[in-house]
Amino acid sequence: MPTNQSCAHYPSLRDAAVLITGGASGIGAAMVEHFALQGSRVAFLDVDDTSAANIVPQLRTRASNSPCFVHCDLTDIPALKAALAKIEGEMGLVRVLVNNAASDDRHAFAEVTPEYWDERMAVNLRHQFFVSQAVVPGMIRAGGGSIINMSSIAWMIPSTGLPVYVTAKAAIVGLTRTLSKELGTANIRVNCVSPGAILTERQRRLWMTPEYLEEVMGRQSLKRELLPQDVARLVLFLASDESSAITGQNFVIDGGWV
């Protein structure tokens, strides 16, 4: 950040209240930037205060509405609900929710304990359900909305070395499908985005060795690095009225890997 904002402009996103979880870094930070530059009123939740503190000043002079950061541990459901109440009190009813927060920490199948399983599910899956549950009453009162859940191609490949994460990401697609049916009569759309190998700072630092990058390029149809802004632009479309007839779908953005 900053990124080249040469993407499409969506009038329906201007002044719309948008909530993004895990918005302080990586794909989440790209989403915060892109929505802010659409003129949306953006709030984002994270535990990374340092990264969040860098985002807001950068956008204050570039966006008509400065993003709002709220520190929140999404594994603490009461704290999550309190954060949403604060956001809706300041910004109004949330019309767009992006369930983005996750952590792809590596772990060995044989070493997973019940406690680690529960902790990883809380980090990668449980909050998507409860944030959605918390925002839906406001969306209904507002006449509708758009929920975008972030999954991954990890369960399609399938990836190895992080089986609990892969399980959670597969479950998110099922959650998306059922919520689209549950909420469709309230004019709430629910879709899913499954990124491939997106070169965030974390991926570059922890996993993207020259050998792995060579493997990625060998598997992708498009022979270029995929960046956080590529994902953010797809999410903008799914949040906007331009996708008003689309719900219950899983959009893969992986350069043609799967």
3 state SS of 150: strand
Mean pLDDT calculated for residue range 210-238: 95
What are the start-end ranges of the E strands in the chain?
17-21, 41-46, 68-71, 96-99, 145-150, 188-195, 250-253
Mean pLDDT of 181-202: 96
What's the angle, vertex CA 95, arms to CA 189 and CA 61, rounded to 5?
A: 130
Amino acid, single-letter form, for residue 39: G
User: What number is the average pLDDT over the span 101-124?
Assistant: 97
pLDDT band at 5, cuts 50/70/90?
Answer: low
pLDDT value of position 120: 98
pLDDT at 201: 85
The stretches of 97-253 forming alpha helices (DSSP H) are 114-121, 127-142, 163-183, 201-206, 210-219, 228-239
* Six-digit token string for 255: 């350069």
Q: What is the pLDDT of residue 1?
A: 47
Among 242, 31, 15, residue whose Cα is nearest residue 146: 242
Check 10, 116, 165, 212 and give the catalytic one: 165
Catalytic residue status for 212: no
Identify the architecture of domain 13-200+227-249 in CATH.
3-Layer(aba) Sandwich (3.40)
Q: What is the mean pLDDT of the chain?
A: 95
Q: Is the confidence at residue 93, as pLDDT, over 60? A: yes
Predicted local distance difference test score (pLDDT) of residue 204: 80
The residue-averaged pLDDT of 2-17 equals 83
